[in-house]
Chains A and B, each alone.
Chain A
Amino acid sequence: MLKDIIKKEIQETITSAKFVFTFLLCAILILLSVYTGIVSYHSDQKEFSAAVALNKKNLESQPSYGYLAQLGTKINKPPQVLGAISSGVDEAVGRVATVNIALDPNLVDSKYESNPVFSVFGALDLTFIVKIVLSLFAILFTYDAIVGEKEKGTLKLTLSNKVPRDRLILGKVIGGFISLLIPLIIPLILSLLILLVYPNISLSGQDWIRLLLMFLMFFLYLSVFFTLGLLVSARTNKSSTSFLVLLFIWVTFVTIIPKLSVVTAARLHPIPSVHEITAKKDAFLQQIQVEYQKVGVNYMKENPMKKGESVKEFQDRIKKWAEVIQQEATAKIDANNAALELDYGAKKRSQVSLAINLSRISPASALTFSTMSLARTGLDEHDRFLASIRGYKPIFTKWANAKMMRTIDFSGTGQTAKVVLDDMPQHKFEPETLSKSLARTIPDFGLMLFLIIVFFAGAYVSFLKYDVR
């Protein structure tokens, strides 16, 4: 009998106009989003390679290490292949940071900066399609699953037979869910094929696992709305009421809770503005510059050229001293900036984590955070990348200072040492491991499963007591 109920549910749905409409729209949107994601990744990758090459060329063309130290090297954020599925914060945050001896590095030049219209509409990635469009379809498939049968009179007719209610609801759940998965699975398989055959796109074994976990998250997310639809359908007496209630919950989950949690977190955990931090950094930089100018003048007064000291010996002594002093000054600036950043970062992280945890009661937020983490396009990966650049800054500074001081030209002939980058330390960044990303997404998987169980149990119990009249 269960098989008959499941079969009927599937047959009834796939012969309906709403299924045909859903299937077509799903296919178009999913394939379009994956295709545009891949194309965008491809162009980002090209842009990244060009930027890296240009940076090297730029550095090599500098007339001296002094110029190089001031100009700094540019660190470009490599694009993530899974950003094609979930672009996360990658388009909103900067893609390139300048590391020089003076300023604290920051990622700038985001896609949204290049084209602010993007920030208004957001990215059309697969996560967006699932979060907004497919969750609405899940509601569309279930809002009248029970109450609709009551209105048609088929529920009474069904239960006038020897049909246990628990079997009927189980059959409806299984059959309904299979019907919902059909318009999702076929385009998803096609999009996987596109990923496989598209030239210059290669996914590692770990990327495939991440991708499958993202798809699993999509299914769980849709199951939340599917079971919620069943629950509301089993708690209402009119399908129009059921639809309105579900629409209200959907709006709350998808837009209100995430936005409200950010505002609430900002109120509960205020943090100093970026301008405040920059002003503090600038003030300290000025202070150090003044301080070390005095130190320089004093040194020259107290340590003039000694008797018997040749000009070359004197210049070498000055160079050595200047290198030590320069390293000391920049180390102080770096330490101060690092302390300010650490404090600001801790406060910011605490605010962000409060906002994330508050918004996590919404499955839409849980979906966003988990897929971002799995695609390595989330806030944490961004923070880690920025931290790696900040960690690289003192290394670069030390190298640049040493090179700069050792090649000071006192002759005034304008001749400078040629810039050679062979021994320049390179920035290294290790992307987050799968196990760490997975650990980060466990609360989101847990929340989804919890909601599915609660909504399904609610629907099940409600249907056992449902007034079929």
Chain B
Amino acid sequence: MLETINLTKRYEDGQLAVDHLNFKVEPGEIFCMFGANGSGKTTTINLLLNFIPPTEGTALIEGIDVTKEPLRSKDFISFVSENVTLYGNFTAFQNLDYFTKLAGKRGLTKSDYAKALKSVGLQEEAFNVRTKNYSKGMRQKLGLAIAVIKDAPNILLDEPTSGLDPKSGQEFLNLLIQMRDQGKSVFMSTHDIFRAKLIADRVGFMKKGRLVIMKTRRELEGEDLTELYIQYMEERPESELK
């Protein structure tokens, strides 16, 4: 489970990146966070990963305060970023082997790695190819394979589908659904409302660091998510918003 309580981040230049953010992602749930560039989505992920300290509030992973026990909290989280290029001179196997060991998993065999790579839809002939020759979609799949093999109960994804072709994007979403079905809490920051609409159990809209609205799948039924996105992302007084 992922949770933020009044999570706030003000940078040294005075910019308020995250403003008293409160949300919770339950096990078996996909939470998609929308927002324009600079709205605070990535800052939220950085706070959850303890890459930056919060100015105020708490970020919890499986109930562990990430600022108090940063290393322990990392045992319970996997991260897939937007543009990870991985180690280009390494093959998929070598990348997977390294990150698996960093995740503290020992004794895994090549067939375990092959299984993980297959599960994310990577073709077998690509397993021994240096990843510098991979397309973005292949790299994203490998990134997800790293998350799969770590098998943490929480997954953080920072705009993982940006730049993916429709087929790769769809395959990627299917994998997230599988993870949710395994009982994992999935938090995904994205601009991709079309794909998110297909899988999200809940969506949130961030604007200027604040979570301005949160809707469940049921609440979204009958709503035009695109219209909603445009409405919330436009510069309008909050009182005018639904």
Contact = CB atoms under 8 A, between A and B. Distances in A.
Pairs of residues from A and B, 3 with the lowest C-beta to C-beta distance, nearest first: A160-B79, A153-B84, A161-B102
Contact of B51 (A16, A153, A159, A162): A159
Interface of B: 42, 46, 49, 51-52, 71-72, 74-75, 77-79, 81-90, 94, 98-99, 101-104, 143, 146, 150, 156
Interface string A433-469: 0000000000000000000000000000000000111
Contacts of B98: 4, 8
Given A153-B81, A156-B49, A161 B90 contact: no
Contacts of B82: 153
Contacts of B78: 160
Contacts of A154: 84-87
Given A4-B102, A158-B102, A468 B51 contact: yes
Contacts of B72: 162
Given A4-B98, A4-B102, A162 B74 contact: yes
B87 A161 contact: no
A469 B47 CA distance: 11
B104 A162 contact: yes
Contacts of B84: 152-154, 156-157
Contacts of B51: 156, 159, 467-469
Contacts of B99: 157-158, 161
B53 to A, nearest CB: 11
11 contacts: A8-B98, A12-B87, A160-B77, A160-B78, A162-B74, A162-B75, A162-B103, A162-B104, A467-B51, A469-B46, A469-B51
Nearest to B79: A160
A116 interface: no
A467 B94 contact: no
Nearest to A158: B102
A161 B94 contact: no
A240 interface: no
B71 A4 contact: no
Nearest to A156: B81
Nearest to B49: A160
Q: Which of A152, A156, A157, A159 has the most CB of B within 10 A?
A: A157
Given A153-B84, A162-B102, A162-B103, 6 more contacts: A158-B99, A160-B78, A161-B102, A161-B104, A162-B74, A164-B71
Contact of B79 (A5, A157, A162, A164): A157
B156 to A, nearest CB: 8
A162 B78 CA distance: 11
A120 B74 CA distance: 59
A161 B102 CA distance: 6
A26 to B, nearest CB: 20
Interface string A147-170: 000001110111111111000000
Nearest to A149: B87
Nearest to B78: A160
Contact of A163 (B81, B102, B156): B102
Nearest to A4: B101
Contacts of B146: 157
Given A1-B102, A468-B51, A160 B87 contact: no
Interface string A130-161: 00000000000000000000001110111111
B149 to A, nearest CB: 12
Contacts of A163: 74, 102
A467 B52 contact: yes
Interface string A400-414: 000000000000000
A99 B69 CA distance: 80
A164 B74 CA distance: 11
A15 interface: yes
A11 interface: yes
B151 to A, nearest CB: 13
A4 B156 CA distance: 25
Q: Which of A5, A152, A153 has the most CB of B within 10 A?
A: A153
Interface string A1-39: 100110010011001100000000000000000000000
